[in-house]
Chains A and B, each alone.
Chain A
Amino acid sequence: MKKKRSIKNREYAVIAYGFLGVFIAMSLYFAYYLTFEAEDFINNPYNARVSLFSENVIRGDVLSADGQVLATTEIAADGSETRSYPYGRVFAHAVGYNTNGKAGVELDGNFNMLRSHSFFLTRLINDFTDKKDQGDSVVTTLDASMQQAAYNAFGNYRGAVVAIEPSTGKILALMSKPDFDPAGIASQWDSLQSDSESSVLLNRATQGLYPPGSTFKILTALEYLHEGGSTEDAFNCEGTYTENGYTIHCYGNTAHGEEDLKGAFARSCNVAFSQTGLSLDLNKYRTLAENMLFNKDIPTKISNVKPSTFSLKKGDDPVLVMQTAIGQGDTLMTPLHGAIIAAAIDNEGVVMEPYIMDKIVNDNGDLVRPYFGETYGSIVSKEDAKKLKKLMRSVVTDGTGSALLSDNYKAYGKTGSAEYTSDKNATHSWFVGFANKDDKEVAVAVIMEGAGSGSSHAVPVARAMFDEYFKE
């Protein structure tokens, strides 16, 4: 009897197992979504649900890596809650704001801070007594003393500072100016919104697109070396160079005279680098730029990060080629991207994805969830990183970054003076670089709008940060 039944049932079993397989795959996807993907969706500003949590939970704190309170919720006697920011404007863009929309860590950690992992008995008692639970806190990677150092050294310029730990991707400082009082966002909202000229709410560190100026010579030099060039190749600079009816000037029309590529890099000679640019295979140049994250989404979980752009291609006007080689032309770069490039060169070419939320802890300080630096991959080879390191060291020992010479640490970098209007004397002051001492290392990018040359303004800010980081 059994036998008879099974004779003709093979096809039936195939269909049944087919369905079973498809449904199991679907269930696994469901579990995968809930476990891994959901978080990306939950924090979307269109998700109105998270705000419901605040009915049962007091929004948690934002803390610096060393435990300083950067944002907290204060509860008045009548039960009303206000968000306060003990450091005022210092962390304005990094920590962000929580009214009239959200930004910064207040945005990225929104869901986490509205969840409570307090001791369960406490929560139970709160339920019985109709009290709110204390939300979890976000411990950031931010170093309060580094942020303060950047803030103090920067002055009243507009611009941004980013500091990253190259081996992990931890963001130690993230500053953008002009800034705002995060506690007063609601009352100043209209004026902040209407002020389109200074874009106070724009986080220039992650969204400011600037011509990279001479800092881009890092890429030009590397492509030149890739195409058979050598750091000993000789150039002759008379302060200006005219080709195809266009004249390139060195900063302040300084004639750098006889020099090799290394010297041209150290002293940021535009004449030598525009000539270098003209010799390059533009498609390979572009590929190199894209490998180094131009025209790509910056690998990070931080929201609202703009991609940098590089548009030069084969057949473009030689004038544009000359400009692009010295970081002018159409190329645009964010300060965060500049810091990532510097960090990668320090880290043997490997990019660690920058992150700002280090862990979530409950109100007792117990770990709820850690975050780890994720490896994006190599953007330059180990050998290339070594070569670039030598060039960037020469900037400090023999060139525009000499103010960074220190007995306490070893600094590397590239300055830049980026023209942003037709007025050649008005330039953004750039510095990207890194410093290390034993196992300790830090990469920074500094941009100061319209401040002048890189060495005059951005380098002193970098110096202040390096000094702070390596202070005994």
Chain B
Amino acid sequence: MLHLLTTISKFTMIFIMALYTYFSFKALMPRISQESSAGLYKKQTALVMLLFINGYIVILMHTLYQNGEGEASSVTAAQMMLVLFLAELVLLRILFIIYKYFYGAASDALVNNMCMLLAVGFLILSRLSWDKALRQFFLAVAAVILTALIPLFVRKLKFLNKLAYLYAIIGIGGLGLVAVAGSTDYGAKLNISLGPVTIQPSEFIKILFVFFLASMLYNIKDIRQIYVATAIAGIHVLLLVAARDLGGAAIFGVTFLAMLYVATGRLSLFLGGMGLGMAGAFVASKIFTHVQNRIVAWKDPLSVIDSQGYQVAQSLFAIGTGGWMGSGLYEGMPEKIPVVTKDFIFAAISEEMGGIFALCLIFVCINCFLMFFNISMQIRDKFYKLIALGLGTVYGIQTFLTLGGVIRFIPSTGVTLPLVSYGGSSLISTMILFAVIQGLYCLREDQKREEEEIY
């Protein structure tokens, strides 16, 4: 019976996710009326809840039967799981209400996407590890509280474009600290330990970095501004390389190039910079053994399955064995994949919830960055335009690196899937990122009002 429930839920969840994804792109179509898009957003909100409840029914039943029917320890575990489910449900509703009712101008599409990504993350973490699911919930509570006022700040604080050097100093200081004193994790230095908590400063600094570049580039009066911006951006990237965080270096580097291109309008700078970056990556692959390992694992994971290729091979086994429809929750073996809750969470989702579901998830991520670029085009003030574009690039690159690494489209770089993967720094920084963008959607509302007053 449990197997039957799992199998039926597998299909219903795929259906819900597919419908959600369809609506999210339908709402993006040009010339759609305000009313019909509002209707779509309402349906989307309901679908997120439906998916979340459907997933948790399966999780609760499996928890209840994990040690045999009626076993006391199972019942306790199921009760705790039920409490977590309800708490998460409330949290998702609160997040929704904050943006829907306190920030009326916020993008409904983005709120729904945020809730969807968080919901999928909560589900798969509860499936994978009770401890991590619980921690992630508390981190999410903290993130919601910490970011609740950010849209307001973005809307009201008019001096954010004057703090370029402050952003740079904090950024370089933070990355420098990691390069010197960071703890090593899978070959790269990423984290700083502060007592019981470890934080990954680059997750936050990438947002400051976007603010820095926007402040430097929104009003170019003097070519020297570009040189200074380039030099400081270069220091950021080099510090990340020194910490062997090549995924981070790629995120910062591409973000810089994209913002520089948009600010100057010169594609040659972007392409030249990408070429330089490729050359740098090539050199890095010759120097760093951990980069070589990842490239070998990417080219032919099965040939080095006992060593470097193990993780990627396990990921591909998971995705492949799950197939288009997935094995159903608890009926795969995602725990075989090393770091499954972080960098490789997408493989676990694809394995148990299905390739179709996973493909829809990719499209929800696409929908997110399209919403980021959308606001960058709609807003008039160049500083904010650059902020939106920069954050969109950060999000796009990060998502591309993690998804591409998991499915062996590119070598894996060890970055997390925003809002879905386990990890406090990643979760909180992504919530900040989305909150800033929501602030920009609110700003656009002010801009519209001004325009209406003029005309």
Q: How many interface residues does chain B have, given as a range?
A: 35 or more
Residues of A within 8 A of B393 (CB): 15, 19
Contact yes or no, B376 A27, CB < 8 A:
no
Given contacts A41-B313, A128-B4, A27 and B319 within 8 Å (CB-CB): no
Q: Does more than half of chain B's interface fall in helix, strand or loop, or is it mixed?
A: helix
Residues of B within 8 A of A77 (CB): none
Contact yes or no, B336 A128, CB < 8 A:
no
Given contacts A15-B389, A16-B370, A127-B7, A42 and B317 within 8 Å (CB-CB): yes
Closest chain-A Cβ to B228's Cβ sits at a distance in Å of 21
Closest chain-B Cβ to A124's Cβ sits at a distance in Å of 8
Within the complex, which residue of A12, A33, A46 is in contact with B377, where a contact is CB–CB below 8 Å?
A12
Instruction: Give the CA-CA distance A23 to B396 in the complex, in Å.
Output: 9
Stretch at the interface among A49-57, A68-76, A352-360: A49-57
Residues of B within 8 A of A49 (CB): 317-318, 321, 327, 332-333, 336
B27 interface residue per 8 A CB criterion: no
Closest chain-B Cβ to A45's Cβ sits at a distance in Å of 10
Instruction: Give the CA-CA distance A9 to B408 in the complex, in Å.
Output: 34
A121 interface residue per 8 A CB criterion: no
A11 interface residue per 8 A CB criterion: yes
Given contacts A12-B373, A20-B366, A127-B7, A26 and B407 within 8 Å (CB-CB): yes
Instruction: Give the CA-CA distance A56 to B332 in the complex, in Å.
Output: 12
B358 interface residue per 8 A CB criterion: yes
Contact yes or no, A15 B302, CB < 8 A:
no
Stretch at the interface among B116-124, B171-179, B258-266: B258-266
Instruction: Give the CA-CA distance A13 to B324 in the complex, in Å.
Output: 33
Within the complex, which residue of A12, A25, A30 is in contact with B358, where a contact is CB–CB below 8 Å?
A30
Within the complex, which residue of B7, B336, B382, B403 is in contact with A48, where a contact is CB–CB below 8 Å?
B336
In the complex formed, the residue of A with least CB distance to B309 is A46
Residues of A within 8 A of B400 (CB): 19, 22-23, 26
Residues of B within 8 A of A4 (CB): 380
Instruction: Give the CA-CA distance A26 to B362 in the complex, in Å.
Output: 9
Instruction: Give the CA-CA distance A48 to B7 in the complex, in Å.
Output: 21
Closest chain-A Cβ to B231's Cβ sits at a distance in Å of 23
A225 interface residue per 8 A CB criterion: no
Closest chain-B Cβ to A110's Cβ sits at a distance in Å of 11
Instruction: Give the CA-CA distance A52 to B334 in the complex, in Å.
Output: 12
Residues of B within 8 A of A37 (CB): 320
Residues of B within 8 A of A42 (CB): 317, 320-321
Indicate with 1 or 0, residue by residue over B399-434, a CB within 8 angstroms of chain A CB atoms.
010011001110000000000000000000000000
Instruction: Give the CA-CA distance A38 to B393 in the complex, in Å.
Output: 31
Contact yes or no, B319 A38, CB < 8 A:
yes
Residues of B within 8 A of A46 (CB): 305, 313-314, 317
Instruction: Give the CA-CA distance A212 to B385 in the complex, in Å.
Output: 73
Give residues of chain B (343-366) contacting chain A, Cβ–Cβ below 8 Å. 355, 358-359, 362-363, 365-366
Instruction: Give the CA-CA distance A438 to B196 in the complex, in Å.
Output: 82
Contact yes or no, A31 B3, CB < 8 A:
no
Give residues of chain B (318-345) contacting chain A, Cβ–Cβ below 8 Å. 318-321, 323-324, 327, 331-333, 336
A47 interface residue per 8 A CB criterion: yes
In the complex formed, the residue of B with least CB distance to A44 is B302
* Chain A CB within 10 A, most for which of B314, B319, B320: B320
Contact yes or no, A12 B7, CB < 8 A:
no
* Size of A's binding interface in residues, CB under 8 A: 42
Within the complex, which residue of B4, B7, B262 is in contact with A15, where a contact is CB–CB below 8 Å?
B262
Residues of A within 8 A of B324 (CB): 34
A119 interface residue per 8 A CB criterion: no
Residues of A within 8 A of B378 (CB): 5
B83 interface residue per 8 A CB criterion: no
Contact yes or no, B362 A38, CB < 8 A:
no
Contact yes or no, A14 B267, CB < 8 A:
yes
* Chain B CB within 10 A, most for which of A10, A39, A111, A127: A127
Instruction: Give the CA-CA distance A169 to B265 in the complex, in Å.
Output: 59
Closest chain-B Cβ to A118's Cβ sits at a distance in Å of 14
Instruction: Give the CA-CA distance A127 to B2 in the complex, in Å.
Output: 9
B451 interface residue per 8 A CB criterion: yes
Instruction: Give the CA-CA distance A48 to B314 in the complex, in Å.
Output: 9
Indicate with 1 or 0, residue by residue over A119-161, a CB within 8 angstroms of chain B CB atoms.
0000010011010000000000000000000000000000000
In the complex formed, the residue of B with least CB distance to A30 is B407
A189 interface residue per 8 A CB criterion: no
Residues of B within 8 A of A48 (CB): 333, 336
Give residues of chain B (424-455) contacting chain A, Cβ–Cβ below 8 Å. 451, 455
A29 interface residue per 8 A CB criterion: yes
Residues of A within 8 A of B287 (CB): none
Instruction: Give the CA-CA distance A11 to B373 in the complex, in Å.
Output: 11
B1 interface residue per 8 A CB criterion: yes
Instruction: Give the CA-CA distance A14 to B373 in the complex, in Å.
Output: 10
Contact yes or no, B359 A31, CB < 8 A:
yes
Closest chain-B Cβ to A318's Cβ sits at a distance in Å of 39
Residues of B within 8 A of A52 (CB): 327, 331-333
Instruction: Give the CA-CA distance A42 to B327 in the complex, in Å.
Output: 13
Instruction: Give the CA-CA distance A117 to B183 in the complex, in Å.
Output: 51
Within the complex, which residue of B265, B319, B327, B455 is in contact with A34, where a contact is CB–CB below 8 Å?
B319
* Chain B CB within 10 A, most for which of A1, A47, A111: A47
Residues of A within 8 A of B409 (CB): 25-26, 29-30
Contact yes or no, B261 A13, CB < 8 A:
no
B256 interface residue per 8 A CB criterion: no
Within the complex, which residue of A23, A34, A47, A127 is in contact with B4, where a contact is CB–CB below 8 Å?
A127
Residues of A within 8 A of B359 (CB): 27, 30-31
Within the complex, which residue of B302, B355, B377, B382 is in contact with A13, where a contact is CB–CB below 8 Å?
B377
B17 interface residue per 8 A CB criterion: no
Contact yes or no, B407 A33, CB < 8 A:
yes
Indicate with 1 or 0, residue by residue over B255-285, a CB within 8 angstroms of chain A CB atoms.
0001001100101000000000000000000
B291 interface residue per 8 A CB criterion: no
Instruction: Give the CA-CA distance A15 to B385 in the complex, in Å.
Output: 13
Closest chain-A Cβ to B347's Cβ sits at a distance in Å of 11
B369 interface residue per 8 A CB criterion: yes
A-B contact pairs, 14 of them (CB 8 A): A8-B382, A12-B385, A13-B377, A20-B370, A26-B362, A31-B359, A33-B316, A33-B407, A41-B313, A41-B316, A41-B320, A42-B317, A49-B318, A50-B321
A12-B262, A15-B261, A124-B4 given. 15 additional CB < 8 A pairs? A15-B373, A16-B370, A16-B377, A16-B392, A19-B392, A19-B393, A23-B396, A26-B403, A27-B363, A30-B355, A31-B355, A41-B316, A41-B320, A42-B320, A49-B332
Which residues in B have some Cβ–Cβ distance to A below 8 Å?
A: 1, 3-4, 7, 258, 261-262, 265, 267, 302, 305, 313-314, 316-321, 323-324, 327, 331-333, 336, 355, 358-359, 362-363, 365-366, 369-370, 373, 376-378, 380, 382, 385, 389, 392-393, 396, 400, 403-404, 407-409, 451, 455
Please give me the 8 A-B residue pairs with the lowest Cβ-Cβ distance, nearest first.
A38-B320, A16-B373, A127-B4, A47-B317, A49-B321, A11-B262, A19-B396, A41-B320
